Chain A
């Protein structure tokens, strides 16, 4: 089971995930070193994402889905210091966790699309059977009217 941070709240100086204690950098330099903090994006609805108008409805749909809002929160992990590998791992684990959450959903949606595709394009057996029945009956009656009472022509 991959580790998944319970809270993506930016934690400058933290290890990024909210569960590990802050990691002091070499020489007392706080984790993150002298990296400038990322620009504040808290006021943007979808921080860091430049979109054209066509994507807006999708994004609105996206945040309507339960528990998706957190994934749009900007990350601010610091990948420096003696435990750098752990921070890399955190990022990979988070991507893995998000993928593990969404990919089955996409697979399920694809299954729905597939079943709908068939239902929408293929007439049902009932529809075909009724059509065949009407056609056979009309053909038979038509022949009875237009030909003679011998049914050999209809065998």
Chain B
């Protein structure tokens, strides 16, 4: 290599960018000259690295400013469309979904509302992350037994998965987990510690990459104590946004929150289907043990002050939800959420109201 050729820091191994590497040899330049050149090269290297990093950060920051401005404009336009959709609800029945507060009497509601998940639950008393733990410096560490692996095609056997340690960096919120493009079905398996710090997982959050570019076919789990070749128990997906009852899948899945049966698990399996060949991955994956308050109230209303007649609660286990106490007054419906088990909650995703 030409001694004046500039090497960069972008190689697989870090290389100091030096224009001239000093070498001490008999009969060569004096040691003072070499040391001066060496010190100068080191200082310039550090300076160049810093300059490069600053330039990259500045450029990214500019990109961020431009895109967030554009994103804000798009969001504003989406909200405008949303209000038109709401205003067009001139039917005899309306759906009060939880993705918006348009139909919610927020002043009278004490239930926990999350518009991203579109779920109303009991207020959260405590939330414990079961996959990562922060240290005193704020760095997240992943529990040693956690593994994330993936496979393609039809349902793989237990040895058909490839473990990817990069996914642990995703769990630590350091970077996304991104894999090469594929059009095959994707299987993601999360092996978790059996004890989960003594707590049972009851909430799973999945942030697929890309949002709305994959179909969710299945989320299943294995009970702790089962053999690794044991039965996979599928979770109920029917209360997720966009669920298709005809295919029993979630087309164009975005970020979702699933409620688990609150029992010890050993493995979780996610089956995704690309809508077209696409790079894929996960923005994040969270597994929590959540404890809830024992009671709360959800009040939905018709914002046009029409009189509400019959109402039906939509969400996880509709037959159970139908047993919740409801009180209808003129244009609103008040629903009492209760539980006798702090680790479970009713999950309401909407209320269908007949209005006149």
**B interface, by DSSP: helix, strand, loop or mixed?**
helix
| Interface range for A | 35 or more
* Interface status of B63 (Cβ within 8 A of chain A): yes
A152 to B190, CA, bound (A): 35
Indicate whether B339 reaches chain A with its CB closer than 8 angstroms: no
B57's contact among A77, A109, A134, A140, by CB below 8 Å, is which?
Answer: A109
> Contact at B6–A51, with CB atoms within 8 Å?
yes
Of the listed stretches B45-53, B140-148, B219-227, B300-308, name the one at the interface; the rest are far from the partner chain: B45-53
Contact A38 B33 (CB under 8 A): yes
When A123-B211, A137-B86 are in contact, do A38 and B36 touch as well, CB less than 8 Å?
Answer: yes
Inside 8 A of B255's CB, which chain A residues have their CB?
Answer: 128
Determine the chain B residues whose CB is within 8 A of the CB of A65 once the complex forms: 50-51, 54
B40 at the interface (CB under 8 A from A): yes
Q: Within 8 Å CB of A46, what residues of B? A: 44
B23 CB-CB contact with A under 8 Å: no
Against B, the Cβ 8 Å flags (1 = close, 0 = not) of A24-64 are: 00000000110100100000001011111001011101100
| A-chain residues with CB within 8 Å of residue B350 when the two chains form the complex | 136
Counting CB contacts under 8 A, is A151 at the interface? Answer: yes
B283 interface contact, C-beta 8 A: yes
Complex interface residues of chain A between 118 and 155 (CB less than 8 A to chain B) = 119-141, 144, 149, 151, 153-155
Instruction: Give the complex CA separation of A35 and B52 in angstroms.
Output: 35
B82 lies within 8 A of A134 (CB): yes
On whether the beta carbons of A129 and B116 are closer than 8 Å, the reply is yes
For residue B116, give the distance in angstroms from its CB to the closest CB of chain A.
4
Q: Does B115 contact A (CB under 8 A)?
A: yes
Per the 8 Å Cβ criterion, residues 76-99 of B in contact with A are: 78-79, 81-82, 85-86, 88-89, 91-93, 95, 97, 99
Chain A positions within 8 Å of B116 at CB level: 125, 128-129, 132
Query: Which of A38, A68, A154 has most B Cβ within 10 Å?
Result: A154
Q: Are A144 and B64 in contact (CB under 8 A)?
A: no
Task: Decide if A132 touches B42 in the complex (CB within 8 Å).
Answer: no
Verify if B4 is at the interface (C-beta below 8 Å from A): yes
Residue pair A98, B43 in contact (C-beta under 8 Å): yes
- Shortest C-beta distance, B283 to chain A (Å), equals 5
Task: Establish whether residues A135 and B6, one from each chain, have CB atoms under 8 Å apart when the complex forms.
Answer: no
Q: Are B53 and A109 in contact (CB under 8 A)?
A: yes
Is A135's CB under 8 angstroms from B241's CB? yes
23 interchain pairs, CB-CB under 8 A: A48-B37, A55-B6, A58-B55, A68-B47, A75-B40, A91-B39, A94-B39, A109-B54, A109-B56, A110-B57, A116-B64, A130-B78, A130-B79, A130-B99, A130-B100, A132-B242, A133-B100, A133-B102, A134-B82, A134-B85, A136-B241, A151-B93, A151-B312
Which residues of B come within 8 Å of A, CB atoms?
4, 6, 19-20, 30-33, 35-37, 39-44, 46-57, 60-61, 63-64, 67-68, 71, 74-75, 78-79, 81-82, 85-86, 88-89, 91-93, 95, 97, 99-100, 102, 115-116, 118, 174-176, 207, 211-212, 241-242, 245, 254-255, 283, 312, 314, 318, 350, 352
